[in-house]
Each structure stands twice: as C-alpha cells, then as structure tokens.
Structure 1
Amino acid sequence: MDFVAIDFETANAQRASACSLALTVVKNNQVTDQLYSLLNPHTYFDQRNIRIHGITADDIQEAPTLAELWPHIASFFQADKLVAAHNARFDCSVLQKSLQAFDLPPAQFAVIDSLQTSRRLLKGFENYRLNTVCQNLNIKLEHHHNALDDSLACANILLWQAKHFGQENLLPFIKTPQ
C-alpha cells in the first residue's frame, strides 16, 4: 500500500483553525517519511482545544500558515494519491476549509478512513476511537492528540488491517475524488 496518513489539530471548533499538521508517508507497506508542523491559523485558541492537544497561541507565533506550507506538501493531495485519516471526515474538512480560508483551490484526492475500516473489520471494541483501536491492536500511540503520533497510529492501523485482512479488503473503503 502507498498512502499518506494525515492528522490535524485545531485551535477552536472552526474547521479552518488548523494549528498543527502531520503527514506519515507509507510506500510499499513501510513508513518512509514523516512531517510535522505547527501552523498559525490566524485565529483564537479555545481553552477546550488547548486542553485536548496542549498547543497554545504562544506556541504558533513563529509557525507558518497552511498557505505557506502548502507548496511543500500539495503533491500528497492530488487525484492520483491516497490520503488516510482516522475520522477522515474531520481531517479532510479541516484541510479543505483551511485551504479555502487562504483562498487556495480545494485539493482533490482519494481517501481511506481508518475509523470506518476499523468499525467494519474489527468487531467487539468498546468504541473505535484512535486510542482504543491502537490499544486493542497493540499499536503504540505515545501521545494521543499529537498530530504526528496520531498520523503514525492511523498508518499503522491500516498496515495492520492490510496484513490481517488483505489489501483487497481495504479497496472498497477508498473514496475517489469527485
């Protein structure tokens, strides 16, 4: 499998408030690269979000905006690429809303959601949150809600599922660009 697992953390409840981003690149069923960056969303930080991920407005003062980082990562988000996320609806929405906030065109790419694959392929878990799935599969998740650790965990969930259920059983979960 070749894909990039992504994870965003947000400054507040608005989807266009990405304050950190991580990419974990998988080629030939191996993690080959990772990228982590704080992001300056040019918006306020809600205390609830800070309690979840620990990122504050002070932390991102020198961080790039998504628009500044985009030229370096846009190649991962093209129609012929597969992007993975645990709860992809959230992460893909954060990406698209953040691009829109900076007047950048929407990205078009195929998506696979490890939350959905886990719900369908793994039975009997208490819930299918990232940390619960990792715990049940014995996948290391050092700091939940750290975007880099979360993107690596997502990648490892999909690699575990490919190994135990076969890549062909993951194909129906891939949503192609519209």
Structure 2
Amino acid sequence: MQLALDALDRLVDTLEERGPLSAVEAARSLFATSSISNGLACSLLSDATAGDSRLVCNGATVSLTESRADPLLEDAEFVVFDLETTGLSAARNQICELGAVRVRALELVDSYQSLVNPRVALPEPVARLTGLREQELRHAPSVATVLRRFLDFAGDDLLVAHNARFDQGFLEGQLLRVHGRRLSEPPLCTAALARRLLEGRVRRVGLASLANFFGVSTRPCHRALPDAEATAEVLVHLIGLAQELGARRLSELRALAAPRKRRVYDKRSLARRSHPARRLPLP
C-alpha cells in the first residue's frame, strides 16, 4: 500500500507540472513501465485512481480534480487545525484534542472541535498547561471517530498548521494506524511563512508572538480550537503580506513557505574557495 501511495503522489506531482496526461503517459508514470497498450492503461488507471480524490480518470486522460487547481489567494479555501497531545513524541504520545477552522475568501467561516480519548493517563504537566482533565477525556470519542469527522469537515481544502511538522507527525501517524491512509499533501506551515515574510521584523515566530504582532482577536491558550482560530487569523495577515509582495495564487504562497535551497559545494570546490590557487611567477 505504501508503494501505491508513493506512486500516486509522484503522478500528482507530474500532473501539477505538466497538466493532464493521456492514459498511456499516466500509466507509464504510475507503474514505471515503458510499454503499455491504451486499453490496459485505461483499465489499470481506473482501478488505481478510484479511491484518490486528487485524481480524475475519464478513460482517455488523467487530470487533477478541480480542487487541485491553483486558485487565487482570495478564492482559496483552507482548514487550519491544531492538536493538543499527551507529549511531544508522535511515536509514543497521543492526541487528546483537535480543533479546526475553515477560512474561505480570507474570512473564518466554520469550525470543528472535539476532545479525544487518548486511552492513556494525562501527564500532570499537560493538564496544567491545557486545563484538560483526565475525567473529561475518558468520555471523549476515540481518535478514529474524531479523525473521521475531521476529514469529513476538511474535505479537499488545504490543511494549515503552525509548526506544521509537529501536528502532521501526530495526524499522519494516527491516520495510518486507524484508517490506513496518509494526508494527500503536507499542511502549509504558518511559522515557515512568517519566517519568510517577517524576516527582520520579528524575533520569534511562535504563535503567541505572531498573534501579538498582528493583534489578532483570539489569544493562543494551549487549547486546540482557540489556537486554531489564532493561527487562522495569523494566516489571513500573512496572506495579505504575500499579496503585497506580488503573490496571487496558492502555489506562490506555498513556494514562500518552502525551505530555501542551500547551495551545496563538493569537497574540491570548498577546497578551492578556502585555498585559492596562487599564480606562479613567470620565468
């Protein structure tokens, strides 16, 4: 299953770069084969893409769904989410609360929140930080139920989180365990966006620091829904800054959040830079 998911991810990347592909071209990309008939390609693609909401296969061609288009930023829809957890390790700890906010046309329009039964004791430091109590978590829905409801709420909208790698690690770990699937794409990270767009203007890009910088109405408090709401407000401000720099579409916003590529030198190149060759005197 992992191989199939990776292959579908590669096909999506190819479609984003090149646009719709013929069935034969898509099958060659998906199945890593150089020779395949049109009939066999259509049959295999129909089965392989049936459960993937990112892809549309009409027999002759394969393309991305409309939701995978590159909308203008003012038209894009986001689902900003936040997790509270029993610890910092996605491998050893559990989700105990999930909150999410939908952003449409740069406005907060809907929300989802649920406690989660972690089925483990709630550490006292976490209880003090969040105000959560073990008694209320015991009666909360299971993580499988909460994730199913969250995925229904999110639909195909782009997920967003602050310090997204942390939340993504927990979310994907639980999705794989209870639903056997991964996220279709990594969440957009507001911390990464802030580092790029506020370089030299803020010393820290923690959620509380950014909420204070932008003067958002919801203050982060280590609870999932308020923190998701604060992150959503920060996102709207960051989109405004990106637009001032000329970004118009979602792909341009994602590019701003992407890690900057560092120039890599081989050992000989570094040696030449450290010890430039000296000219020998002419005889």
TM-score (norm 2): 0.56
Which of 36, 46, 66 lines up with 2:123 in the alignment? 46
Q: What do you get for the CA RMSD once the two structures are aligned?
A: 2.1
Which residue pairs with 1:131 in the alignment?
208
Change (3 A) 1:158 1:13: closer
Question: For 2:177 and 2:88, how far apart are their aligned partners in 1?
Answer: 15
More displaced 10-residue stretch of structure 1: 40-49 or 84-93: 40-49
Which residue pairs with 2:139 in the alignment?
62
Change (3 A) 1:52 1:133: same
Q: Which sections of structure 1, spanning at least 5 residues, go unmatched?
A: none
Which residue pairs with 1:171 in the alignment?
254
Change (3 A) 1:9 1:102: same
Contact map agreement 1:77 1:109 (CA 8 A) in 2: no
Which residue pairs with 1:157 in the alignment?
234
Which of 11, 14, 27 lines up with 2:104 in the alignment? 27
Verify: 1:2 aligned to 2:85, yes or no: no
Verify: 1:92 aligned to 2:161, yes or no: no
Question: For 1:157 and 1:17, how far apart are their aligned partners in 2?
Answer: 26
More displaced 10-residue stretch of structure 1: 140-149 or 26-35: 140-149
Question: For 2:186 and 2:257, how far apart are their aligned partners in 1?
Answer: 7
Question: For 2:80 and 2:98, how far apart are their aligned partners in 1?
Answer: 11
Q: Which sections of structure 2, spanning at least 5 residues, go unmatched?
A: 1-75, 259-283
Contact map agreement 2:161 2:167 (CA 8 A) in 1: yes
Q: What's the offset of the Cα at 1:161? A: 1.5
Which residue pairs with 1:72 in the alignment?
149
Q: Which has the larger radius of gyration?
A: 2
Contact map agreement 1:67 1:102 (CA 8 A) in 2: yes
Deviations 1:130-150 (A, max 9, x none): 000110111123342111111
Q: What's the offset of the Cα at 1:163? A: 1.9
TM-score (norm 1): 0.87
More displaced 10-residue stretch of structure 1: 51-60 or 146-155: 51-60
Name the SS of the counterpart of 1:171 in structure 2: helix
Question: For 1:146 and 1:163, how far apart are their aligned partners in 2?
Answer: 26
Contact map agreement 1:22 1:147 (CA 8 A) in 2: yes
Verify: 1:102 aligned to 2:178, yes or no: yes
Name the structure with the higher helix share: 2
Name the structure with the higher strand share: 1
Which residue pairs with 2:194 in the alignment?
118
Query: Kindly, what percent of the aligned residue pairs are identical?
Result: 25
Change (3 A) 1:22 1:134: same
Contact map agreement 1:67 1:104 (CA 8 A) in 2: no
Deviations 1:12-65 (A, max 9, x none): 333251000001011121111001110011122122222221212112111101
Name the SS of the counterpart of 1:149 in structure 2: helix
Name the SS of the counterpart of 1:145 in structure 2: coil
Higher relative contact order by CA 8 Å / sep ≥ 6: 1 or 2?
Answer: 1
How many residues are treated as equivalent by the alignment? Answer: 174
More displaced 10-residue stretch of structure 1: 130-139 or 120-129: 120-129
Change (3 A) 1:150 1:158: same
